[in-house]
């Protein structure tokens, strides 16, 4: 490729022309949209368009002379490959929450010059921190300019998928009940109105689902909740007349999507607005009518939807069992075909997704299948493509010995799944087995943990890392993320990670979180073992309430990769007990080769 005429360089040239036209010294392009989503509709994938980096999280900064992409260790290998020839430098940051791009801008922008970021896609809290740092460096922040839109003539239109209802029995509370609970929380804060922009909060609150964001059953909208009425700002035609009437019966009035700012500007002087500074953009906050008091606090719906009810738990367990049955069918096929058929990372995606699609209540995948063989497994967010993927098996045998990492999940009407397993191909080496066993020890250690109710979730992170740290090893991603109920596969507020704890991260009954420690050897192999767990009550004593984890994910953990000398008796007992439950729960849902595979892979060690 002629790097001087590569598509990315030409796109950056257009962007720099826009910078010059508007007398801007640098532009900041976050991975974000007006709802501060993690996964973005094409219309807001400007960072990917101008950089060529396709990972889900990163920040791009462009000046007249330089361009830098800030990405954490999950993406370093991928980013280096995708940025090659673009002229964009990769800045390696510790975590996705790092703000090194802010300091970079302060150091590399001359005093008196202007940095631009679209206020419609930067969070209120993030914008405040950026402004403070830049002002201290004598740099002006401009937020009323969408340079991405000006320099992106091929920009995709807004998505137009229809919205539909999430119905009983999987929807276990009515829309009216949920609105009433949010209004009670508003009243407790002294608020008469509440702005909600995060898409999973809206889907949960109104018992609605959509398809505006790949893999997440959500839709683009904002809502302004008042004492008795709700204004739902949504694209024309996305809600049909019949559903509109049912919403109206619950006091929900439909308004044009673009009118949210106008409604905020029209709030009466006696209104008190509740908004979440971490879940609303700067542009929406600045639209609020002058003089209207604003209460800043976490969205009540964010806390409520994180705590799944006993009724929801019934459907979640069923979804996990169905997901496990699909994986038994897939892995039975895979092991029987290994060395006899042509199998690549793409083949795995096709066959596994097809098995899930056969299950009752299946809606879609919950994220793209990650199937990484050997070196590809060392990239936590790797995705095979037709142009770049590994071959695992031919009709004449396996291609190479090693480890195959498969991270996958699905959306069911009764729950969202996310699971990672690692399987031996041929004969794994002693070093591979050692890494696998250390990660398994981390998964078991945290899965067995009991802790006081209200423990900040980041405090649990070190428990999973301890067996890995003991060997002077480490992994760069968090240990666990919250998971929604037929909603986003990544959900807050809890996070088992190195994040700085905040009060809303307290572990409460009903929360679903992943446990997924890992080890990655760049260029060689990767290991990650992931289960979803449910916070349930543990026996109490004079020291108050305690919680423990119920393992929700139902799929064997391969025992052929284990270095048994590294497992103690308690760890073996946990694994055998887990496999007993997996066999008991899944056996009635599978037959034939899948049942035989299940029985073999759940034999006690």
pLDDT score of 384 more than 90? no
Q: Average pLDDT of the chain?
A: 95
Q: What is the pLDDT of residue 69?
A: 96
The CA–CA distances, whole Å, from 146 to 149, 282, 378, 592 equal 6, 13, 37, 58
pLDDT of residue 381: 82
**CATH homologous superfamily of 164-298:** Creatinase/prolidase N-terminal domain (3.40.350.10)
Local confidence band at 1 (pLDDT 50, 70, 90 cut-offs) = very low
Say whether the peptide bond before residue 12 is cis (omega within 30 degrees of 0).
no
Contacts of 531 (CB under 8 A, 6+ apart): 419, 443, 447, 514, 515, 516, 551, 552, 553
Per-domain residue ranges of the chain: 3-150, 164-298, 307-600
Please state whether the predicted TM-score (pTM) of the whole model is above 0.75: yes
Percentage helix, strand, coil, to 5, in the chain?
40, 25, 40
Predicted local distance difference test score (pLDDT) of residue 2: 42
- Does domain 3-150 fall under CATH 3.40.350.10? My reply is yes
pLDDT of residue 77: 82
pLDDT tops 50 at residue 3: no
Q: Provide CB contacts within 8 A for 314, sequence distance 6+.
A: none
* Residue 148 CB contacts under 8 Å (≥ 6 apart), including other chains: 15, 27, 29, 46, 49, 50, 118, 155
Distance CA 427, CA 340 (A): 17
Residue 53 makes CB contacts below 8 A (sequence gap 6+) with 47, 60, 69, 71, 75, 78, 79, 82, 83, 88
- Which band of pLDDT confidence, cut at 50, 70 and 90, is reported for residue 5? low
pLDDT in tens, 402-421: 999 999 999 999 999 999 99
Q: Under CATH, what is the fold of the domain 307-600?
A: Creatine Amidinohydrolase (3.90.230)
The CA–CA distances, whole Å, from 383 to 141, 192, 476 equal 36, 46, 18
Closest CA to 448 of 598, 602, 275, 570: 570
User: Which phi and psi (to 5°) does residue 335 adopt?
Assistant: -70, -30
CB 521 within 8 A of CB 372: no
Percentage of the residues of the chain whose pLDDT score is greater than 70: 99
Res 451: pLDDT:
97
CA distance 321 to 109: 54
pLDDT tens figures, 210-261: 999 999 999 999 999 999 999 999 999 999 999 999 999 999 999 999 999 9
Same fold, 3-150 and 164-298: yes
pLDDT tens-digit map of 306-337: 999 999 999 999 999 999 999 999 999 999 99
Contacts of residue 146, Cβ cutoff 8 Å, sequence gap at least 6: 118, 120
Kindly report, residue by residue over 561-586, the tens digit of the pLDDT.
999 999 999 999 999 999 999 999 99
pLDDT, one tens digit per residue, over 147-188 is: 999 999 989 999 999 999 999 999 999 999 999 999 999 999
The total of other beta-carbon atoms located within 10 Å of residue 335's CB is 14
Q: Structure tokens of 364? A: 């879609």
């Amino acid at each position: 490729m002629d790097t001087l005429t590569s598509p990315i360089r030409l796109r950056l040239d257009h962007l720099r022309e826009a910078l010059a036209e508007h007398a801007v010294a640098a532009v900041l392009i976050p991975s974000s949209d007006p709802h501060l989503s993690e996964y973005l509709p094409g219309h807001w994938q400007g960072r990917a368009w101008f950089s060529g980096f396709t990972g889900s999280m990163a920040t791009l900064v462009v000046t007249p002379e330089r361009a830098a992409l800030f990405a954490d260790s999950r993406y370093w290998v991928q980013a280096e490959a995708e940025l090659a020839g673009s002229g964009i430098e990769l800045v390696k940051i510790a975590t996705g929450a790092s703000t090194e791009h802010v300091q970079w801008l302060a150091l590399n922008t001359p005093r008196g010059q202007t940095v631009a970021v679209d206020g419609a896609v930067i969070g209120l809290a993030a914008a405040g921190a950026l402004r403070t740092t830049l002002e201290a460096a004598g740099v002006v922040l401009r937020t009323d300019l969408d340079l991405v839109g000006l320099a992106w003539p091929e920009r995709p239109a807004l998505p137009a998928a229809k919205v539909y209802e999430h119905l009983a029995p999987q929807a276990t509370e009515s829309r009216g009940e949920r609105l009433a609970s949010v209004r009670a929380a508003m009243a407790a804060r002294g608020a008469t109105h509440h702005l909600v922009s995060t898409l999973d909060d809206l889907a949960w609150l109104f018992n609605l689902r959509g398809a505006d964001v790949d893999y997440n059953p959500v839709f683009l909208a904002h809502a302004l909740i008042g004492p008795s009425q709700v204004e739902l700002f949504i694209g024309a035609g996305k809600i049909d007349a019949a559903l509109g009437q049912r919403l109206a019966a619950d006091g929900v009035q439909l308004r044009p999507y673009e009118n949210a700012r106008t409604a905020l500007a029209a709030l009466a002087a006696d209104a008190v607005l509740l908004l979440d500074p971490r879940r609303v953009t700067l542009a929406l906050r600045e639209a609020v009518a002058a003089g209207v008091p604003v209460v800043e606090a976490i969205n009540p719906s964010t806390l409520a939807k994180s705590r799944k009810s006993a009724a929801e738990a019934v459907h979640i367990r069923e979804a996990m069992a169905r997901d496990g049955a699909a994986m038994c069918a897939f892995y039975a096929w895979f092991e029987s075909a290994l060395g006899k058929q042509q199998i690549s990372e793409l083949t795995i995606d096709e066959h596994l997704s097809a098995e899930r699609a056969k299950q009752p209540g299946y809606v879609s995948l919950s994220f793209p299948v990650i199937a990484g063989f050997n070196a590809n497994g060392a990239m936590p967010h790797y995705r095979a493509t037709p142009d770049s993927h590994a071959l695992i098996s031919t009709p004449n045998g396996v291609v190479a010995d090693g480890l195959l990492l498969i991270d996958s999940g699905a959306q069911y009407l009764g729950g969202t799944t996310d699971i990672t397993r690692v399987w031996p191909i041929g004969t794994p080496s002693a070093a591979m087995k050692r890494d696998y066993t250390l990660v398994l020890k981390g998964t078991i250690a945290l899965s067995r943990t009991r802790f006081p109710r209200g423990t900040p979730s980041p405090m649990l992170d070190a428990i999973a890392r301890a067996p890995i740290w003991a060997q002077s090893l480490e992994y760069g991603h968090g240990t666990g993320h919250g998971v929604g109920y037929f909603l986003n596969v990544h959900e807050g507020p809890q996070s088992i990670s190195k994040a700085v704890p905040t009060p809303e991260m307290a572990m409460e009954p009903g929360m679903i979180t992943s446990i997924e420690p890992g080890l990655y050897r760049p260029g060689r192999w990767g290991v990650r073992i992931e289960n979803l767990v449910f916070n349930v009550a543990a026996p109490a004593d004079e020291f108050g309430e305690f919680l423990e984890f119920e393992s929700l994910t139902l799929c064997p953990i391969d025992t052929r990769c284990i270095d048994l000398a590294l497992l103690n008796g308690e760890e073996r007992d946990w694994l055998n007990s887990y496999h007993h439950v997996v066999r008991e729960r899944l056996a009635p849902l599978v037959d034939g080769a899948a049942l035989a595979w299940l029985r073999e892979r759940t034999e006690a060690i």
